[in-house]
Amino acid sequence: MIKIATIAGSDASGGAGLEADLKTFAEYGLYGMAAVTIIATMDPSNNWSHAVFPIEETALRSQLETIFKGVKPAAVKSGMLGTPYAVELTREYISEYKLKNFVLDPVMVCKGAGQPLSPELNAAIAQKLLPLAEVATPNLFEAGQLSGLGEITSIDAMKEAAKRIAGKGARQVFIKGGSKLPSAVRATDIFYDGKTFSIVEGDLFNTQWTHGAGCTVAAAISSGLARGLSAGEAVTLAKKFIGSSLGAGFPLNQWVGPGNPSAWRKDRLFE
Ligand code: PXL
């Protein structure tokens, strides 16, 4: 069994965070492990507003020991880190164990959470973790922050951002544009391998049930790497995977709806 780990927040609603990661790992036939950095909860009596509860440093270190010293995973994905010590511990373990297949999903805000996480934390993620990333997977907002470009509204700006983020150390950059570019008629992402750009397109779903899409696609990329795919191959497969998941998105309740990471099975059965 190929092992893979996520260092991420728990999304109590199950659609994003390490819950999305573990579901995705399982769909790729992998054995998933998880170190919880924060617990995110949503308040049904207050319009689903998010609260974040950090896991203390000793407990996080202990989880990383369990994961890395027990078995060295074939790939590691990080998601919402939430505290400066989670960024530092992630750096420490990825570099000490010379983990090559590290996918950095530089989560800076969750949809609906309101405030972005702190600028200091974003700077630490850029400085300490980008140089270790085999693939960094920012969304448009995060790409704007990491590159210093601010708001990104075109493919050309996405390309420039990808170049700058690679300049800060990520070996490959996948920018999740999805439906968010003003001109989008297809779900449009950019992949940059340090030399060339490719535009990665998929169906654009007219749906609001997209909770966890960013986590899921990054988890799918890390899963592809764990299975021995190149980053380019992993991105292509991840794009198919997220298309299938979003095509089967559903309302969890009156506030939020996730994709369905297991939907590809049905797609395949009915092909
Ligand atoms: O989608 C970003 C995200 C990442 N990680 C956790 C989250 C969210 C958004 O809700 O809760 C734990």
Regarding the beta carbon of 79 and ligand 1, being less than 6 Å apart is answered yes
Q: What is the reported pLDDT for 252?
A: 96
Quote the ligand 1 centre to 231 CA distance (angstroms): 24
CB-CB contact of 136 with 104 (8 Å) = yes
Q: Which amino acid is at 52?
A: V
What's the gap in Å between 40 CA and the centre of ligand 1? 7
Task: State how many domains the chain has.
Answer: 1
Successive 10-residue mean pLDDT values, the chain, 271 residues: 98 98 98 98 93 97 96 97 97 98 92 65 96 98 95 96 98 94 90 97 92 97 98 98 96 96 80 50
pTM of the prediction?
0.96
Reduced to 3 DSSP states, what percent helix, strand and coil does the chain have, rounded to the nearest 5? 40, 20, 35
Q: Domain range spanning residue 247? A: 3-267
- The protein residue whose alpha carbon is closest to atom 2 in ligand 1 is 110
Identify the CATH number of the domain in which residue 198 sits: 3.40.1190.20
Among 238, 236, 244, 174, residue whose Cα is nearest residue 203: 244
- Which pLDDT does position 270 carry in this prediction? 58
How do strand 172-175 and strand 135-136 relate by DSSP bridges? parallel
Please, what sign has the CA dihedral across residues 183, 185, 189, 195? negative
| Ligand 1 atom 8, closest CA | 110
- The alpha carbon of 212 and the centre of ligand 1 are apart by a number of angstroms equal to 7
Contact 174, 137 (CB under 8 A): yes
Structure tokens at 163: 């170049």
Which atom of ligand 1 lies closest to the CA of 105?
A: 4
- pLDDT score recorded for residue 184: 82
What pLDDT is stored for residue 200 in this prediction?
A: 95
Burial of 80 per CB tally in 10 Å (0-12, 13-18, 19+): buried
Residue pair 131/100 in contact by the 8 Å Cβ criterion: no
Q: What is the DSSP string of 40-92?
A: EEEEGGGTTEEEEEEPPHHHHHHHHHHHHHH---SEEEE----SHHHHHHHHH
**Ligand 1 pocket: which of 6, 7, 11, 111 to mutate (most atoms within 8 A of CB):** 11
Q: pLDDT value at position 267?
A: 66
Which runs of E-coded beta strand occur in the chain?
3-11, 31-43, 49-54, 75-78, 102-104, 135-136, 172-175, 187-192, 197-202
Residue 249's Cβ-side half-sphere holds a number of Cα atoms within 13 Å equal to 22
Q: What is the DSSP letter of 176?
A: B
| DSSP code of residue 97 | T
Number of the ligand 1 atom closest to the C-alpha atom of 38: 12
Could you read off the pLDDT of 212-232 as tens digits, one per residue?
999 999 999 999 999 999 999
